[in-house]
Amino acid sequence: FFSVSVAIAMLSAPRRLLFNNARASAATIRFFSGEAKEYDCVVIGAGPGGYVAAVKAGQLGMKVACIDKRGPAGGTCLNVGCIPSKALLNSSHHYHMAAHDFKKQGINVEGLSIDVKQMMKAKEKAIKGLTQGIEGTLFKKNKVDYYKGFGKISSTNEVAIDLNDGGTETIKAKNIILATGSDVAKIPGIEIDEKMIVSSTGALEFDKVPEKLIVIGAGVIGLEMGSVWGRLGSEVTVVEFLDRITPGVDAEVAKMFQTVLSRKQKLMNFKLGTKVMGADVVGDKVHLKVQPSKGGDEEVIEADKVLVAIGRVPYLDGLGLDSVGVEMDGRVIKTNDHLQTSVPNIYAIGDCIKGAMLAHKAEEEGIAAVEHMAGLGGHVNYDAIPGVVYTHPELATVGKTEEELKEAGVKYNKGVFPFMANSRARTIDDADGMVKVLADKETDRLLGVHMLGPNAGEMIMEAVIGLEYGASSEDLARTCHAHPTLSEAVKEAMMATYDKPIHI
């Protein structure tokens, strides 16, 4: 039986034996028992890291399956994270411009109003189109079998699935990738009911604009969602334990960011150096108990809604890691430089391992993990992973901060250029922010670039490519930039780093 099966497979379907014709070393022969489907690669999790890994595996000729309990593919990012929040940021930005900026441009609007229900429909349209695109196009095109259910490792080469439609199924896998993502970090003693006290998921589903909104946490999620509802008219108060916003971001840029959000735009008020002691729902209000982080008198702040946005934690419950000996590194799965766990054929990527919890980081890791198992030596350069806060202005960063360089004793040159001196920013009346460049003092090699300004999330890619290929600030400064463009601010900041800018 075995010899006949192999002969037939070699004649009729060579891609089932080889990941591709040029890589015979990656060949895999499967023994069919008739009891369980067998795969070269099984991915648990269909978020940005998981579905990208599954698609890449299919492209390399592997037989691949992807499992997710949510049902619609895309994970937190597409369903209740990156994508819906950007849709609402876009809608609220349009409204805010119409209410506050149009008149200055000679555009008069009468009867301006907000239709939250229609905003939510626009958001859902974006989500549905993208999630269906994964299942209906990408998975089908690359022959990915998609299982909707909860996947658990039952042995080093088996995954048991509790199917959403009922029943269970066990599949066999030569390699397994854990791409299970993360869950909302909670505050002990505060219950998130997604009605009055909400996570980011609940903040994406408000049926009306809350009169008063308290955001706990001045990180990316808190500031983005605070911006959405602040633009639409909420009185937003951000409570942060630390004495600054956006922890981990270059301090000089973060300070300017806070000034723009609070003093210039008046979108939100900040209570920094403040810790949350508890919360009570009293009627249709939430009473949040706070006090100074360093100790002091307790204060009660009242709001219609409270958003808990203190971060996220890896989702690892019930995966069966202990049963197969997958080692942990604190709260995350321990991996080597090739994203392998302590069990070599089990990989882990994205939010469940160390590093920034970013969708694009997970995507790169998914591709690298699949390429490694195919013998192609996948790699991720963690020094060139950008981060973006999609407020307005946007904050974008890549590489080292000035604080990190000082702590490491690295000598550096710094160049700064304000958008106020950029012609395109002035013509569109959107000139808050700056570009900051850090380069090695001896070699001029780029070490870090940090931007606060219009369209910074797109412009940061010039710096990412520079870091990826070891460019110097002079390399980018001597590269011609179209005029008038916002990107000229990047060129000028590079000039300011190795020499002198022209326009300041």
Answer for the pair 40, 174: CB distance below 8 angstroms, yes or no.
yes
Report helix, strand or coil for 439.
strand
For residue 35, with 0-12 CB atoms within 10 Å meaning exposed, 13-18 middle and 19 or more buried, which class applies? exposed
Residues in a beta bridge with 289: 278, 300
Bond before 501 cis per omega within 30 degrees: no
DSSP code, position 260: I
| Whether 238 contacts 218, CB under 8 Å | yes
- Beta strand 235-239 pairing with 268-271: parallel
The DSSP H or E segment spanning 235 is: strand 235-239
Residues 407 and 209 sit within 8 Å (Cβ to Cβ):
no
SS3 assignment for 102-166: HHHHCCCCCCCCCCHHHHHHHHHHHHHHHHHHHHHHHHHHCCEEEEEEEEEEEECCEEEEEECCC
Catalytic residue status for 94: no
- Report the SS3 class of residue 327: coil
User: What is the 3-state secondary structure of 474-493?
Assistant: HHHHCCCCCCCCCCHHHHHH
143 Rama class: left (phi>0) / alpha (psi -120 to 50) / beta: left
State the catalytic residue, choosing from 94, 100, 379, 483: 483
Is residue 290 within 8 Å of 239, Cβ to Cβ? yes
Alpha-carbon gap, residue 37 to 427, rounded angstroms:
61
**Catalytic residue positions, numbered:** 483
